[in-house]
Amino acid sequence: MIQPLFSIITVTYNAEQWLERTILSVLSQSYPHIEYILIDGASTDGTLEIANRYASGITCLLSEPDKGLYDAMNKGLHKATGDYVWFLNAGDTLPTADTIYRMVKRLDKRGIYPDVLYGETNLVDAEGRSLGARRLKAPKKLTWKSFRMGMLVCHQSFLVKRELAPDYDLNYRLVADYDWCLRCLKRSNTIHHTHMILSNFLEAGMSTVNRKASLKERYEIMCRYYGKLPVILLHGWFAVRFYFAKWVKGRV
């Protein structure tokens, strides 16, 4: 069986603090069939200097102004030629040098390469120190309906066959990745849980303003896919559960 080519895409803008560790985690992979695509939004710090330092290992390096994160990610998709696309942003890393090798070895035993591959995620801080596992665990069985409960799989631990991957919807400024994963899942027939930690995700935090805006965008997406009434009822249950847990904690 011919082993797949993975298009790993990193999108950057003024990311000199974190980029090198991301690049090194990709270039150190023991699995040979990788193309590495780096899309930069015309950074003004030392990002490009770092990228150029490792230019021999980067398949495509593009730096130009863009219309934001998801526009840059679309550019990465358009440059990709691999069987799978995998987004790993500056500060995110692959957990070990043999992460991809071990994943492919398991798939070879199954004799099939699914439309979507997904796994678990660890969180790291700005210094790369582990913060432990992501609170939301990847479900044993994943479908597009699973995302009614939120983004149960981190974007950095979600791989999809390139031929099924749509462009990101630029109408969403903060959570187009949530919509993108939903559309990928709806297009997919085979979805496989790798039962591996596929990425270390940089927990950079989000401002209160952006958090409120992202929740509003996510609510709009959920209503679009799941219907307004079911989403309202579900959020009501979330609120009840949250305040009950808070009440119990206050009595302890």
* Structure tokens given for 65: 């102004």
Q: What is the pLDDT, as a whole number, of residue 241?
A: 52
Tens-digit pLDDT profile for residues 46-55: 999 999 999 9
Identify the residue whose tokens are 């596992």. Answer: 133
- Distance, in Å, from the CA atom of 79 to the CA atom of 179, rounded to the nearest integer, reads 21
Q: Of 104, 179, 97, which Cα lies nearest the Cα of 144? A: 179
DSSP one-letter code for 54: T
Task: Give the residue-averaged pLDDT of 109-136.
Answer: 90
- Distance, in Å, from the CA atom of 219 to the CA atom of 197, rounded to the nearest integer, reads 28
- Taking CA atoms, 177 is separated from 38, 72, 82, 169, 221, in Å, by 18, 13, 20, 9, 11
- Identify the band that residue 238 occupies on the pLDDT scale cut at 50, 70 and 90: low
Contact of 11 with 72, CB cutoff 8 Å: yes
Tens-digit pLDDT profile for residues 4-41: 999 999 999 999 999 999 999 999 999 999 999 999 99
User: Angle at which helices 208-226 and 228-251 pack, to 10 degrees?
Assistant: 130
- Taking CA atoms, 137 is separated from 48, 50, 151, 241, in Å, by 35, 34, 10, 18
Contact of 150 with 136, CB cutoff 8 Å: yes
Tens-digit pLDDT profile for residues 182-213: 999 999 999 999 999 999 999 875 545 688 88
Tens-digit pLDDT profile for residues 138-177: 999 999 999 988 899 999 999 999 999 999 999 999 999 9
Contact of 174 with 210, CB cutoff 8 Å: yes
pTM (2 d.p.): 0.90
